[in-house]
Amino acid sequence: MRRFFALLATLILLAACEPREEPQLMSYGNTDILTLQAKMAMGELDARTLTSYYLDRIEQLDRQGPALNAVIELNPDALAIADTLDQERRNGSVRGLLHGIPVLLKANIDTADKMATSAGSLALQNHYADRDAFIVTSLRAAGAIILGKTNLSEWANFRSNHSSSGWSSLGGQTRNAYDQTRNPCGSSSGSAVAVAAGLVSVAIGTETDGSIVCPASSNGIVGIKPTLGLVSRQGIIPIAHSQDTAGPMGRTVADAAILYSVLMAEDINDTSAPPFPHEKPDVLAAIENASLKGKRIGVWRNYAGANADARVEQILTNSLATLRRQGAVIVDDIQIETQGLRQAEFEVLLYEFKAGLNAYLAKSDATLPDLQTIITYNQQQAGKVMPFFAQETLELAQTKGPLDEQVYLEALHLSKALAQNGIDGAIKAHELDALIAPTGGPAWLTDHVNGDRSSGISSASLAAVAGYPAVTLPAGFIEGLPVGLTFFGAASSDAQLVALAHAYELVSRVRVAPEF
């Protein structure tokens, strides 16, 4: 952190040598956090101006114009919070690199304010938390401004097998930042689109299996899925405690890492999480020392949908060439056995969703106290809640018993063994620093009649089920649509993966902002 502040000081000195001009507000849509902090330190910008800029941009691009529909709700107190933080800065107190930086949260994260925690569901449209989620408390303490909440695939895409990603009964359909006829992927669709479109610098998504990395890939941004347990799940509407995690999304690896450094903290009340490591991964220090030279990177070749799209394979080939030019040692054709993984995982998710949601609702004293009541509500409001697809996933989860049933325990053991042994075995056998694979294919056309019709290309499940970290970032474009590359590895290798992704980003320079 000290080195990052030193870099910030250097930026301030460099900026001081330039002629003073009126700030160009339209540039803030693609301005990184360090530059924003430098401008605020020099008095060229303040948190109120920045917050107002983002609110105006949300009105212009999200509500009107291309109508991205990424933001489900705005915080009515955002400007007042910005004023307080500006006064702190004038008094000589700066809390850190997020001081005065607006952040958007996925709408399944509790905030003890005037915004609902809805998961995009009409059934929870009036559900207001009585306390902040653990990560929200950390964000506020770091000086971040909670600007609003983002739309998502309803119930984090765990309502139907025929859903349209990015659609919720409360928020409607979020649209891809690069082509509004295309799907943003889910379930953290609103967070990804908001960052890609410059509605905010950084946002928070959540992932159970692909819900951070897929929308990040489809919208040309960076997404970090942490090692399970490094980020608290307290105060987040759950799917499955054995896989759920929140994570940062940003336009650059550095921006995502700055946000991640605040999110990462031990929460002794997150009792279902693995033990927090003795030494917290220092993602900021890792970025400062990032290098690809001599790093052994394995190429996972039998991911889901491998070789289904020659254009995706060409992007991977180009990425490998970039890595080699920077001195990385490429170990190709890594094969990892995954047969039976997805079936076992789905069984686990059904059991854990019912148990976790019922516990969350009981603890939060929600109007609708359990899963069965929500299913009944949806049936009664079918015209509004289910105009395009049903709730067969919710209904299937309701049939499951307690978490001591043998079917659940066997599925949990099998899925974890396949995923963790697959990654750990490949890393050990080939002495790897990380594995890579394409994150997914280009965004598909949104189709409310047939549901998602993706290419089937995805490398997300292995790290997701294992509870291991993954970092995705832009690797190329297909017909103007972004495609991401994912770095993933062993448990608690988050800092190393972030460093590798940052080093790759510096030399690849792939991302191009969407035009509106």
Q: List, in sequence order, the alpha helices (H) in 58-109.
A: 78-90
Show Cβ contacts of residue 359 under 8 Å, excluding neighbours closer than 6 positions.
none
**2-8+27-508: in CATH 3.20.20.140:** no
> Tokens 């991401």, residue?
484
- 211 among known catalytic residues: yes
Residue positions counted in the chain:
516
Calculate the alpha carbon distances from 198 to 68, 202, 232, 248, 331 in Å. Answer: 12, 9, 27, 15, 37
Q: 426-461 burial by CB neighbour count: b if 16+ within 10 A, else e?
A: bbeeeebbbbbbbbbbbbbebeeeebbebeebbbbb
- 106 among known catalytic residues: yes
What's the pLDDT at 365? Answer: 75
Calculate the alpha carbon distances from 432 to 130, 259, 306 in Å. Answer: 45, 27, 21
Give tens-digit pLDDT for 69-79: 999 999 999 99
Show Cβ contacts of residue 180 under 8 Å, excluding neighbours closer than 6 positions.
66, 67, 68
Q: Which of 121, 160, 187, 415 is catalytic?
A: 187
Mean of the per-residue pLDDT values of the chain: 95
3-state secondary structure 394-449: HHHHHCCCCCCCHHHHHHHHHHHHHHHHHHHHHHHHHCCCEEEEECECCCCECCCC
Q: In the structure, what pLDDT confidence band is assigned to residue 366 with cuts at 50, 70 and 90?
A: confident
Calculate the alpha carbon distances from 267 to 136, 271, 354 in Å. Answer: 13, 8, 23
Minimal CA–CA distance to 158: which of 208, 94, 122?
208
Mean pLDDT of 259-277: 96
Give tens-digit pLDDT for 170-186: 999 999 999 999 999 99
Q: Which of 39, 106, 225, 295 is catalytic?
A: 106
Under a CB-based contact definition with an 8 Å cutoff, are residues 294 and 326 in contact?
A: no
What's the pLDDT at 304? Answer: 96
Q: Which of 160, 191, 211, 454 is catalytic?
A: 211
Q: In the structure, what pLDDT confidence band is assigned to residue 24 with cuts at 50, 70 and 90?
A: very low
The rounded distance, in Å, linking the Cα atoms of 15 and 196 is: 26
pTM reported for the whole predicted model: 0.96
Mean pLDDT of 211-238: 98
For the chain, the structural domain boundaries read 2-8+27-508
Show Cβ contacts of residue 13 under 8 Å, excluding neighbours closer than 6 positions.
none
Tokens of 101: 């930086």
Mean pLDDT of 133-139: 98
Q: In the structure, what pLDDT confidence band is assigned to residue 124 with cuts at 50, 70 and 90?
A: very high
Q: In the structure, what pLDDT confidence band is assigned to residue 16 with cuts at 50, 70 and 90?
A: very low
What's the pLDDT at 9? Answer: 47
- Checking if the pLDDT of 103 tops 80, the result is yes
Q: In the structure, what pLDDT confidence band is assigned to residue 27 with cuts at 50, 70 and 90?
A: confident
Express as a percent the part of the chain with pLDDT over 70: 95
- Checking if the pLDDT of 133 tops 90, the result is yes
End-to-end CA distance of the chain: 36
The rounded distance, in Å, linking the Cα atoms of 236 and 111 is: 10
Show Cβ contacts of residue 246 under 8 Å, excluding neighbours closer than 6 positions.
106, 109, 135, 204, 205, 206, 207, 226, 231, 232, 233, 236, 263
Tokens of 287: 């970025």
- Checking if the pLDDT of 20 tops 70, the result is no
Q: What are phi and psi of 402, to 5 degrees?
A: -75, 170
What's the pLDDT at 414? Answer: 98
Mean pLDDT of 195-201: 98
- Checking if the pLDDT of 318 tops 70, the result is yes
What's the pLDDT at 229? Answer: 97
Mean pLDDT of 7-26: 42
What's the pLDDT at 8? Answer: 53
Minimal CA–CA distance to 333: which of 437, 411, 422?
437
What's the pLDDT at 7? Answer: 52
Under a CB-based contact definition with an 8 Å cutoff, are residues 188 and 152 in contact?
A: yes
Q: What are phi and psi of 134, to 5 degrees?
A: -55, -45
- Checking if the pLDDT of 19 tops 50, the result is no
- Checking if the pLDDT of 387 tops 70, the result is yes
Express as a percent the part of the chain with pLDDT over 90: 93
- Checking if the pLDDT of 319 tops 80, the result is yes
Mean pLDDT of 197-212: 98
Tokens of 164: 């349209």
Give tens-digit pLDDT for 327-350: 999 999 999 999 999 999 999 999
What's the pLDDT at 348? Answer: 98
